[in-house]
Structures are given as structure tokens and as C-alpha cells.
Amino acid sequence: MTKSEWWHGASIYQIYPRSFADSNGDGVGDLAGITAHLDHVASLGVEAIWISPFFTSPMADFGYDVADYCDVDPIFGTLGDFDALVEKAHGLGLKVTIDMVFAHTSDQHAWFEQSRQSRQNVRADWYVWADPKPDGSPPNNWQSVFGGPAWTWDARRQQYYMHQFLKEQPQLNAHHPAVQAALLDALRFWLERGVDGFRLDALNHSMFDPALTDNLPAPEDGKLRTRPFDYQLKVNSQNHPDVTQFIERIAGVCADYGAIFTVAEVGGDGAVPLMKAYTAGEHRLSSAYSFDFLYAPQLTSDLVAHALGQWSGKKGEDGLSEGWPSWAFENHDAPRHVSRWADDEHRAAFARMSAVLLACLRGNIFLYQGQELALEQDEIPFHLLKDPEAIANWPLTLSRDGVRTPMPWDSHAFHAGFTSGEPWLPLSPTNIAKAVDVQEADPESQLHWMRKVIALRASQPALRLGAMDHMTSDEALLCFTRHVRHEKIVCAFNLSNGPRDYDAPEGEVLLAVNGATTGLLPAYGALLIRTA
């Protein structure tokens, strides 16, 4: 690469504020708690943090239903607490990125409260309103992600309003220039406070077919469908091509403030072409966040080869340079990867190998809080569930609560040092045994291993910035080469729980994982070799 911004190849640590650290004993994590533990994050060697929403919200979807884009919810603290967090992070050399939710707001946002009052007021068209069909039913067949029609009746306007998620999350009409202007002003508010970047939540959901054309039925694929949403091809309710024009306005605002990192969350079928469109050229977003690994039931060599093979780093047919991908194995919505991909016997070895694999991928890498400890997915009983999607679709939808349980800091402290009160979700004995204090005291722990792996990635331009090619895969063995200028690193991984022979090339062994040698990769073994 001829030019490298700070975020190219960066390692970014996601913080889910409700579950990171509680400073005031109310059982919910907060901004001051984050600030108090930023030294731990910085010690990992990551370049940036991503903080999930902390804005004013009634918490119907735990912050992803925003009631005020330009303030902090009291449960998380104050704007002063946020300013202190930014100051501490920057002092530690950490960039700060935050979530922005532009597809919808809370139904308690002042914009929506005004919009629903009449069909004539200044914000009447800021949300998606439509008349019923002659029989009183919703205007079309669109379904919400969380179950049921994507429409709720409002008696004030005698119309339906659209919501792609909860009914408490009315859909913004992002086609409207005034709505775009208001959202861009929200970006400026946080940029003025020192924010270094944004993750743009559900960005492909932000625009839709204005004609409200019915979606098509999805073809039968043999998979279990747990929601009405899964029965449709979302060709009209999301993914409208005009999103790219809005993206260019977002990028323009960020450019006014310097090298700001922007990453789009783009989920659903056919996501990769959208991801490339959203990041193509010099005037769109920095990166797009891949879902290839987040819900995969198994980690296979073919899965990795397919996911990485979709990003060549070359110019597309439109002549625009291809964007920069971002990768994650888990996040606040997706289950802990060690629980999905490894059995109990091999979980520790798998965690070591998967950390190296993530660090070798071309693009940015995201770690979710606790991933550096190899935390496992918690089982939350129905009566303790908080996740609205899991409650609505129980027992067929996996609860997001299981990955949102609190961070264990001190194995000997009350509630593992997360809070002095009653935590909003319980901590499990399994994860308490993996607390930070336990792993700090053990030089062979996953925590120390993760620091080593992230440091290796940061020190090797081929791993952080290089191209990826010569990828081969079979049922268990995955091999590829990362290279930049005259530096070349061959990466070989055994993704199975049995040994595999491996004929390694000549060169310097940079890292041997789980007892790997140049002739044998044990269960979940790996080798990184610098070659001539």
C-alpha cells in the first residue's frame, strides 16, 4: 500500500458498556467504569476501542433505540464522563470509535413524538408512514427482524409506521434530506468531542423502496426458519442503492475532521457486494464489518478461504479501488466463538490457534470484550432473559444475553469485580475462573497469549498491511501467504482436533502454536514462517 492510515490493519476492541465495568454499584456498566479499565485494554496492544451505544434511550433494545443522539443516558453517566473517557483513551494511545444508529430511533425520540402528531408537521415525513390497505391490513408484506409485520398502527395519524426491528424502533426516512442533515449534525457533535471514528449500525437497513413494494418469498433452502423475516428475500425493505449517496455525505463530514475511521455493519443475504459498494473508492467508508464468521456453526478451512477470497484488494469493474474488510469472530450479538467452534477438551488449544488466525487475516480485526480471556457463552434461563429477540422467539433463537454477561475482573471479588451491586445479567463460575486477575498471574494464559499475538501482528507489515494469496484448503488444513514488498509470511493452520502432517517451507519460524513443528501440526496447531 502506498498510503496507510492508522486504521489500516488495526486491531479494535469492542466494549459493550452495560457489561464492561460498573463504577456506581447499580449493576450496569457505565462510562466511568470503562475509563477505569482502559489500561487493561491498552495493554493488549490494540489501536482503538469501539463502544456500543451509550446514548439516551429507554433501553427497549439496550441502547440501539436512541432517544437523543447527542447525550449520554444517565445509566451510563454524563457527557463529562464521556469527555474524560476520550481524554484517558487518547493519553493511552487508543483511538475512540462509537456506534451510530441511523436506520431507526426510539419511539421516545423527540423527532418521532412530533412526527406521529399529524401528517402536516415539520417532521411528518421524517419516519416511514403509510395508509392501510382497504381491508385495514398493513401496507405491504414486510416483516420485522424480531418477528411479526414491520408495521404498527398509530391512531394519531390513522396510519401505520414502519419498524424493521422492535415496534419501539420506528424506521427513519433516511431518503429525506432533512433527516440526513440531522444525522450528519449528530456526527459533528461527537467529532467535536474528539471521537476518532464510527461504526454505522445496520446501515443497509437505512433505506428502502419508497414505493413499498412487497418482498419476494425466499426459496426453500432446508434451513430451520425461526421468524417470519426468514421467509422473505429482503429486496425492497432494505439495501436501497441510494444508501451510497448518503455514505458519501457521511464520509465528507468525517473528512472535514481528518483521518476518521468509518465501518459499516452490513448483514443479511448478498452482503458482500453491498460492503464493497459502501467502501469503494476514496469518498466512501473506510471499511465494512463482515458477518461471515459471526454465526457460523463451525470454523472450516473452506469457510475461511471463501470469506477471505471475496476480497482481492484490487479495483472493481467500476474502476474504483476495493474497500478494506473488517473481521470478527464474536460480538455483542453473536455467540462466543470458542463455545461454537470447539469442544470442552480442546477449547484452550483452539482459543490460542483462533487468536493467531484472526491476527493473520487481511483487513481490520475486532476483539469483543472478554475474547482476550477466551470467555465462553453463558446459558441464561428464560426467567432471566433480557434480550427482546430471544424472549420473542424462545426457544429457537439463541439469546444474545449469553455473550453479554459481565466482564470478570477479579475472581475473588463480589461478582468478580464487575459491580458492588446486583449485576444486570449473572456471571457464570466458568467465566469467573477466567477472570483478568487469574490470567495476569499465569504467564501461559490466553490473556498473555493474546498480547503476544497482537504485538506480532503490529510488528509485521505483511500481517497488518500485506496482500493475501496462495490460499489452499482441505477439510482441516488452511494455508495462505501474507506479503508486502520483500517480506513474505506463510501461515498454516490445522482447524481440526487431530494431528495433520505438514511440509513446511524453509524459513524463520515466527510463531509455533500448540506444539506445531515444520513437519506436523497437532490438534489446532499453526505455524507462521517468514520465507525468502
Amino acid identity of residue 89, one-letter, is A
What's the pLDDT tens digit per position in 334-389?
A: 999 999 999 999 999 999 999 999 999 999 999 999 999 999 999 998 999 988 88
pLDDT at 15 (0 to 100): 98
Task: Tell me, yes or no, whether 63 and 193 share the same domain.
Answer: yes
Same domain, yes or no, for 421 and 475?
no
pLDDT at 2: 41
Instruction: Please identify, among 433, 455, 477, the residue that sits at the C-terminal boundary of a domain.
Output: 455
Question: What pLDDT does residue 464 have?
Answer: 95
Q: For the chain, what is the domain count?
A: 2
250 backbone dihedrals φ, ψ, rounded to 5°: -60, -50
Instruction: Name which of 148, 151, 170 is nearest 159 in CA terms.
Output: 151
d(CA 45, CA 367): 12
Query: Is the pLDDT reported for residue 18 higher than 60?
Result: yes
The burial class, CB within 10 Å (0-12 / 13-18 / 19+), for 49 is: buried
C-alpha cell at 402: 449469553
Question: Is the model's pLDDT at 1 over the cut of 50?
Answer: no
pLDDT category of residue 316 using cuts at 50, 70 and 90: low
The answer to whether 47 is a known catalytic residue is no
Contact 527, 511 (CB under 8 A): yes
**Catalytic residue chosen out of the listed positions 201, 292, 330, 389:** 201
117 falls within a domain: no
Per-residue confidence (pLDDT) for residue 268, from 0 to 100: 81
Q: Both 367 and 495 in a single domain? A: no
Q: Which of 192, 113, 125 is nearest to 154 (CA)?
A: 113
Contact 37, 409 (CB under 8 A): yes
Higher pLDDT, residue 391 or 209: 209
Q: Quick one: 318 and 344 in the same domain?
A: yes
Task: Say how far apart CA 292 and CA 478 lie, in whole Å.
Answer: 17
Are 245 and 212 members of one domain?
A: yes
In a domain, 160, yes or no: no
What average pLDDT is seen over the chain? 94
pLDDT tens column, 229-260: 999 999 999 999 999 999 999 999 999 998 79
Span 121-145, average pLDDT: 97
Residues 240 and 376 in one domain: yes
User: Which amino acid is present at 418?
Assistant: F
Looking at the fold, whether 310 and 417 belong to one and the same domain comes out as yes
In a domain, 122, yes or no: no
Length of the chain: 532
Q: Which of 157-166, 195-204, 304-313 has the lowest mean pLDDT?
A: 304-313
Residue 141 belongs to a domain = no
List the grid coordinates of 224: 430451520
pLDDT value of residue 147: 86
CATH number, domain of 520, equals: 2.60.40.1180
The single residue listed with the C-alpha cell 525468502 is 532
Q: 99-103, 385-389, 391-395, 485-489: which range is least confident on average? A: 391-395
Q: What is the pLDDT of residue 394?
A: 80
Distance of alpha carbon 252 from alpha carbon 275, whole angstroms: 18
Residue 164 lies in a domain: no
The residue from 388, 421, 455 where one domain ends is: 455
Taking the C-alpha atoms of residue 522 and residue 226, their distance in angstroms, rounded to an integer, is: 38
pLDDT the model gives residue 3: 53
Residue 129 lies in a domain: no
Q: Are residues 402 and 505 in the same domain?
A: no
Asked if residues 491 and 504 have their Cβ atoms less than 8 Å apart, the reply is: no
| 399 three-class SS | coil
For 495, phi and psi rounded to 5 degrees? -95, 15
State how far the Cα of 358 lies from the Cα of 9, in Å rounded to an integer. 11
395: confidence class by pLDDT, cuts 50, 70, 90: confident
Both 377 and 288 in one domain: the answer is: yes
- Whether 109 is covered by a domain: the verdict is no
Least confident residue range of 7-11, 309-313, 498-502: 309-313
Rounded to whole angstroms, the Cα distance separating 424 from 384 reads: 9
Active site residue 444: no
385 in any annotated domain: yes
What CATH number does residue 235 fall under? 3.20.20.80
Instruction: Give the pLDDT confidence score for residue 474 in this predicted structure.
Output: 86
Last residue of a domain, one of 427, 455, 483: 455
pTM, two decimals, is 0.96
| Arithmetic mean of pLDDT, 272-297 | 93
Q: Residue 247 and residue 251: Cα distance in Å, rounded?
A: 6
At residue 325, does pLDDT exceed 80?
A: yes
Nearest in space to 480 (alpha carbons), one of 341, 309, 313, 276: 309
| Rounded distance between C-alpha atoms, residue 476 and residue 514, angstroms | 16
Does one domain contain both 59 and 191? yes
- The per-residue pLDDT for 270 is 82
Number of CB atoms found within 10 A of residue 220's CB = 8
434 and 307 in a common domain: yes
User: What band does 62 get if pLDDT is binned at 50, 70 and 90?
Assistant: very high
Half-sphere exposure of 9 (CA within 13 A, CB side): 26
The residue annotated as part of the active site, out of 61, 196, 265, 378, is: 265
CA distance 272 to 295: 16
Range of the domain at 493: 467-531
d(CA 518, CA 502): 7
Average pLDDT for 162-182: 98
Same domain, 258 and 383: yes
